[in-house]
Amino acid sequence: MTQESPTPVSLYQEPDQGLSLDSAFTFHCHAGLACFNRCCLAPTIILSPYDILRLKDCLGISSGDFLERYTLRHPEEISNLPLVFLDAFSAPGGCPFLEAGGCRVYAHRPAACRLFPITMGSQLTEQGVVDHYFCRKLDYCQGFAADAEWTVASWQANQGFGEYEQERREWFTIILKKGLEGPLDSYPRVQDLFYTIAYDLDGCRGLLSDPAFLQAAGLEGGAAAYLQMDDLELLQFSSRYLQSVLLGEGAGLRLIARRISLSF
């Protein structure tokens, strides 16, 4: 039976599970394998804001168009924060970027795709976020029979995971911390405001023209104009701002959602 939605996943893991960065495994995926592309037919891929930025730029579309065409939105079970999943379930072909020759957005593929067959979960400790790694050995995958040997760390470096991990870390920390402090307000405008600021960069850019939002965010005209011109700076601002209003002393999202004039 065709899967219709992402498999439920947990972002949290017990500290005594998993691999270390020095753990070794063998793996090599290539088009010559009989199982090539099979793992892309029904993947559960959570997209970070940076994943979305890279993919929408690769496709030459707005973030709003990307979210509408290629993603599903589900609340994270503990924090109640909206998560964005790649929609690999609306069509029988699986991942919308899968072609006969492989991934058509390979150079800009999401962090989860880069890390596979390694998966990760994280734990919030007094020292910060601690990551735990796991090797997902699918029964049909022939890539593990290869001679190519990696450590988790060398695999990350080979796949360009570091850049993605650096840019998604603050967003991920927000989710973990909010899960410990208590769930996000279920008020629809609050949920939509978080979703817009976190994931829809072009929608967030629209907020920068709203005086009520600029006042709440403590932004002056020059700073807002600078953010209007640079997606990565805007993404980094959005993470800092959400951390402030959800976990700090800033005005709550419910209050801000009532004041702003942008229609969701």
Q: What is the 3-state secondary structure (H, E, C) of 13-35?
A: CCCCCCECCCCEEECCCCCCCCC
pLDDT tens digits, residue range 79-99?
A: 999 999 999 988 788 999 999
In order, the DSSP letters of 128-179 are EEEEEEEE---TT--GGGSS-EEEHHHHHHHTTHHHHHHHHHHHHHHHHHHH
CB contact at 8 A, 234 and 194: no
In order, the DSSP letters of 175-227 are HHHHHHH-PPP--HHHHHHHHHHHH-HHHHHHHTT-HHHHHHHT--HHHHHHH
**pTM for this predicted structure:** 0.88
Q: What one-letter code names the amino acid at 71?
A: T
| Residue 203 pLDDT | 94
| Residue 101 pLDDT | 87
Residue-level pLDDT, tens digit, the chain, 264 residues: 345 655 554 444 444 457 899 999 999 999 999 999 999 998 899 999 999 999 999 999 999 999 999 999 999 999 999 999 999 988 788 999 999 889 999 999 999 999 999 998 888 877 778 888 999 899 999 999 999 999 999 999 999 999 999 999 999 999 988 888 888 888 888 899 999 999 999 999 999 988 888 888 888 878 888 899 999 999 999 999 998 888 865 456 776 766 665 444
Nearest C-alpha neighbor of 256 from the set 202, 201, 187, 203 = 187
pLDDT tens digits, residue range 12-50?
A: 444 445 789 999 999 999 999 999 999 999 889 999 999
| Residue 16 pLDDT | 46
CB contact at 8 A, 106 and 29: no
Q: What one-letter code names the amino acid at 107?
A: A
- Give the distance, in angstroms, between the CA of residue 25 and the centroid of all CA atoms in the same chain: 25
d(CA 25, CA 201): 37
